[in-house]
Amino acid sequence: MSHNYKHPIPPGIAENALINAGQYTEMYQQSVEQPDIFWGQQGKILDWITPYQTVKNTSFVPGDIRIRWYEGGTLNLAANCIDRHLATHPDKIAILWEGDDASQSQQLTYRQLHEQVCRAANMLTALNVKKGDVVAIYMPMVPEAAIAMLACARIGAVHTVIFGGFSPDAVAGRITDCAAKIVITADEGLRAGRPIPLKKNVDEALKNPTVTSAEKVIVFRRTGTPGEWQDGRDLWWHELMASAGTEHTPVPVNAEDPLFILYTSGSTGKPKGVLHTTGGYLVYAATTFKYVFDYHPEDIYWCTADVGWITGHSYLVYGPLACGATTLIFEGVPNWPTPARMAQVVDKHQVSILYTAPTAIRALMAEGDSAIAGTRRDSLRILGSVGEPINPEAWEWYYRTIGNSHCPIVDTWWQTETGGLMITPLPGATELKAGSATRPFFGVQPALLDNDGITLEGACEGNLVITDSWPGQARTLFGDHARFEQTYFSAFRNCYFSGDGARRDADGDYWITGRVDDVLNVSGHRLGTAEIESALVSHPKIAEAAVVGIPHAIKGQAIYAYVTLNAGEEPTPELYTEVRHWVRKEIGPIATPDVLHWAEMLPKTRSGKIMRRILRKIAAGETSGLGDTSTLADPGVVERLLEEQQTIN
């Protein structure tokens, strides 16, 4: 089947969809021609305490980068996600929880969620957390993670959720960077039957002398495994919650007050604290959730992303709850204890919208029919994909096998920095092509530029930029606005640069080709090569390191690390294992190199710049077409590296 084959919109979808093809065209046009009017209207998806005066106040002009939406408006995010639904559907399930162990599940109605979030808000207030203070959340996939986030928002505190897979060092770095006052964690997490020592990691992180801000650690009891306890600092979630009151008045915040900081990897330096504010972010999360998943009140919605990533923020918690939806939080992994687990969860909870990642789809596809054994999946109506380009084979398998060939797939391109979905089909409006994210969402103006910044027209391939602001856009990098401008607004003038490349076909549909910078995407996780390199060179025996990505059938990309040892050090199998563990300890399991290539020397230009283009090719086993190597200081280096090229075992 040609990859340009268009899947027509499946029968029954367009008729009942919120947006059909004609409406998309009309609304899109208005959204870019009259953004103030369009987003002024869409802003009404929320309840505001004080109405906004200025919808859009933005500029991408160098020296005057300004991103402000809904100025003058005040609101409370938790009230929008919970309280306002109490009037219409207090007993609707807000959060459906499915444990790692299928015998454990839980339901929280909007009324129950309200009570829990009010208690948690009072708990934080009693610990002297005030508007603007930062709270770190390092939690497993349990409802309490969402409750903690919503409680912060309810009192105007800023949360920073740290993915449970990050190591103590990574946790320490984040807590220090944003000066978090409180850490909320659990004794342990549970994934695929294995405990994750969250509290132990926090203990270790807080031993780091750089961490001075964290005063208290609130511990949710998940597994009950005993561990260290520091009296006066460590507090049990259940004890504090039991003594906290169930009444709480949400604190009004300005539209542009910070809501959260989320750390993500860039091409240079340490992770960046992407800062999102309240009003525009929530308008955008809610609007995209509603239209892109074609949300109907009877839907059961399941996003498999971890709460520690942006997808977990916008489409596990905030978007769905703002729309009054039922959102499923799954603690486990899609292929445990059987490859059919994901399909079983769909059947068990009658999931109608499923949003997952290509890496999960490919892992299940590799299992063949056992991934759907004994399941029907006939409750499904819409499928979504996020996090990395989805290859056409995986797309077709998802469509046919999981979706029984009757569910549109929305392949959603976006980023931590964009807050919400940017380029994506709409179920009732867009004909689908396997592997294409298709068209921009309302208000999003993509363009493709060549390396000189010239705008390319028609069918072409280039650097993907966005030429005007949208409400969900990140406002800054916490504590480093100069880096924000430098990272996103300096490569190309007057636009936001995504760091991705894309192709536009003759129909005007976009195909994301992947990062054009030194950022890797491993199993849908964003990792900076610089970050992994700096972890490697912090090892006492390592002199130099260069990390590149290589194609991997399931993970999308695997991590290939060239390592030069200090003079006199010998590469041994023990050192190989030790170095991989080192990176695991420095960053976390997701950053562990798949391959170490002991390199006596790295290819460099005469000015000393490492030639990554060549390293990428050697790692991928491309022995021909290395391009111009004449600028190399020592062309013999390449020959030697080629002879030693490693493969993943």
Residues forming the annotated binding site for CoA? 191-194, 311, 335, 523, 584
Instruction: Please pick, from the candidates 160, 311, 469, 523, the single residue that binds ligand WTA as defined by CB under 6 A.
Output: 311
**Closest CB 287 distance from ligand WTA, rounded Å:** 17
Candidates 13, 8, 9; CA nearest to 352 is 13
Question: Residue 447 is which amino acid?
Answer: A
Residue number with CB closer to ligand WTA (20 or 415): 415
Candidates 512, 520, 524, 515; CA nearest to 359 is 524
DSSP state of 311: H
Q: Which residue positions form the known binding site for Mg(2+)?
A: 537, 539, 542
The total number of residues written for the chain in this structure: 649
Instruction: Please pick, from the candidates 411, 531, 533, 586, the single residue that binds ligand WTA as defined by CB under 6 A.
Output: 411
Piece of the chain touching ligand WTA by CB under 6 A; list 31-39, 46-54, 190-198, 384-392: 384-392
Provide CB contacts within 8 A for 429, sequence distance 6+.
9, 14, 17, 19, 20, 21, 23, 24
Cα–Cα dist 431/21, whole Å = 9
Piece of the chain touching ligand WTA by CB under 6 A; list 219-227, 330-338, 380-388, 400-408: 380-388
**Closest CB 460 distance from ligand WTA, rounded Å:** 18
Cα–Cα dist 312/301, whole Å = 13
- CA geometry: angle 523, 496, 51, nearest 5 deg: 100
**Closest CB 358 distance from ligand WTA, rounded Å:** 8
Instruction: Please pick, from the candidates 437, 559, 615, 637, the single residue that binds ligand WTA as defined by CB under 6 A.
Output: 437
Q: Does 394 bind ligand WTA (CB under 6 A)?
A: no
Piece of the chain touching ligand WTA by CB under 6 A; list 328-336, 509-517, 541-549, 611-619: 509-517
Residue number with CB closer to ligand WTA (83 or 411): 411
**Closest CB 524 distance from ligand WTA, rounded Å:** 7
**Closest CB 285 distance from ligand WTA, rounded Å:** 12
Candidates 274, 289, 273, 361; CA nearest to 322 is 289
- What residue spans of 45-189 are helical by DSSP H? 77-78, 84-86, 110-126, 143-155, 168-178
Instruction: Please pick, from the candidates 56, 174, 272, 526, the single residue that binds ligand WTA as defined by CB under 6 A.
Output: 526
Instruction: Please pick, from the candidates 42, 430, 521, 529, the single residue that binds ligand WTA as defined by CB under 6 A.
Output: 521
Instruction: Please pick, from the candidates 187, 188, 294, 388, the single residue that binds ligand WTA as defined by CB under 6 A.
Output: 388
Candidates 513, 469, 458, 466; CA nearest to 491 is 466
Q: Do 380 and 402 touch, CB atoms closer than 8 A?
A: yes
Question: Residue 623 is which amino acid?
Answer: T
Question: Could you tell me what percentage of the chain is helix, strand and coil, using 3-state DSSP and rounding each to the nearest 5?
Answer: 30, 25, 40
Q: Does 515 bind ligand WTA (CB under 6 A)?
A: yes
**Closest CB 320 distance from ligand WTA, rounded Å:** 16
**Closest CB 264 distance from ligand WTA, rounded Å:** 5
Piece of the chain touching ligand WTA by CB under 6 A; list 233-241, 489-497, 511-519, 600-608: 511-519
Q: Does 415 bind ligand WTA (CB under 6 A)?
A: yes
Instruction: Please pick, from the candidates 113, 205, 310, 407, the single residue that binds ligand WTA as defined by CB under 6 A.
Output: 310
- With CB under 6 A, what is the number of residues at the site for ligand WTA? 24
Cα–Cα dist 320/416, whole Å = 17
Collapse the DSSP code of 503 into the 3-class scheme (helix H, G, I; strand E, B; otherwise coil) and give the result: strand
**Closest CB 638 distance from ligand WTA, rounded Å:** 28
Looking at residues 540 to 599 of the shown chain, list those that interact with ligand WTA (rule: CB under 6 A): none
What six digits make up the tokens of 538? 């912090």
Candidates 152, 42, 82; CA nearest to 420 is 42
Instruction: Please pick, from the candidates 162, 206, 512, 559, the single residue that binds ligand WTA as defined by CB under 6 A.
Output: 512
**Closest CB 516 distance from ligand WTA, rounded Å:** 9
Q: Which DSSP helix (H) or strand (E) runs through 288?
A: helix 279-292
Looking at residues 249 to 308 of the shown chain, list those that interact with ligand WTA (rule: CB under 6 A): 264
Q: Do 334 and 523 touch, CB atoms closer than 8 A?
A: no
CA dihedral 591, 597, 601, 602 (to 10 degrees): -50
Q: Does 391 bind ligand WTA (CB under 6 A)?
A: no
Q: Do 442 and 283 touch, CB atoms closer than 8 A?
A: no
Looking at residues 463 to 502 of the shown chain, list those that interact with ligand WTA (rule: CB under 6 A): 498-500
DSSP state of 441: P
**Closest CB 632 distance from ligand WTA, rounded Å:** 30
Binding site for ligand WTA (CB under 6 A): 264, 309-311, 385-389, 411-416, 437, 498-500, 512, 514-515, 521, 526
